[in-house]
Amino acid sequence: AQKVTQAQTEISVVEKEDVTLDCVYETRDTTYYLFWYKQPPSGELVFLIRRNSFDEQNEISGRYSWNFQKSTSSFNFTITASQVVDSAVYFCALSDEDYGGSQGNLIFGKGTKLSVKP
Amino acid sequence: DAMVIQNPRYQVTQFGKPVTLSCSQTLNHNVMYWYQQKSSQAPKLLFHYYDKDFNNEADTPDNFQSRRPNTSFCFLDIRSPGLGDTAMYLCATSRAGERFFGQGTRLTVV
């Protein structure tokens, strides 16, 4: 069975601190996709990144970086120099793929609520 | 430019009174999803369409139905809302693994 675990329920940091959000996943599929979404108080799920199971390169996008390690089934997300606008709930998610990549269900972790204080 | 649009953003309905939530997309994606997200929980898939093929999750209550009259539109009908159906309802589309969510409809059943 597929499962995503985000062990940190809530994290509070002070602005400019670095913060890492942990994500551990379980799947028996050899082909799968991992995602991170941001959900601000307005409610919309904002796509941050999608990574397939064959690409273990770490990725950096501005202040955001992701560390994918298949050996530990982890896909951690780091925000460098956090800002108040980063305050949101962050979800890690896992998807299998059927029919050319569109039909897989998205299995979400329970989310980590990040509060960045000025 | 919004690509997945949900209406209304906020909806209050009475216990037992049918309600319909709508979702439209400008992406021409063939897959559309409806998720339910209760307070402080992760989104939970209710059902999805692959073109016109409807796929219901096993634990989705019969009270929830969906219609997809064309590629662009998808509706979520709740026949007899209960207090426990108060939640955010999220619509999403997908093609080639990319998934896009709308802003959601916050439904309150009173």
For residue range B22-50, list pLDDT tens digits in order.
Answer: 999 999 988 899 999 999 899 999 989 98
* pLDDT at residue number B97: 67
Residue B48 Cα, gap to closest chain A Cα (Å)? 8
Cβ-Cβ contacts under 8 Å for B58 (sequence gap 6 or more): none
Q: State mean pLDDT over A4-8.
A: 96
Report whether pLDDT(B108) > 90: yes
C-alpha to C-alpha distance for A101 and A98, rounded to whole angstroms? 5
More reliable by pLDDT, A11 or B95: A11
* pLDDT at residue number A103: 54
**Integer CA distances (angstroms), A110 to A59, A72, B32, B52, B72, in order:** 23, 19, 22, 31, 30
- Choose from B21, B99, B103, B108 for mutation: most chain A CBs within 10 A: B99
Q: In the structure, what pLDDT confidence band is assigned to residue A101 with cuts at 50, 70 and 90? A: very low
* pLDDT at residue number A81: 97
**Integer CA distances (angstroms), B22 to A19, A88, B25, B49, B88, in order:** 37, 26, 10, 14, 13
Residue B16 Cα, gap to closest chain A Cα (Å)? 25
Which residue of chain A is at minimal alpha-carbon distance from B57?
A105
Inter-chain CB pairs, A–B, below 8 Å: 64
* pLDDT at residue number A69: 94
Query: Exposure string (b/e) for B31-67, b if CB count within 10 Å is 16 or more?
Result: bbbbbbbeeeebbbbbbbbeeeeeeeeeebeeebbbe
B68 has a chain A CB within 8 A of its CB: no
* pLDDT at residue number B84: 96
Cβ distance A110 to B41 less than 8 Å, yes or no, reads yes
* pLDDT at residue number A16: 97
Which residue of chain B is at minimal alpha-carbon distance from A100?
B96
Report whether pLDDT(A66) > 60: yes
- A37 neighbourhood in chain B, CB within 8 Å: 101
- A106 neighbourhood in chain B, CB within 8 Å: 33, 43, 45, 92, 99
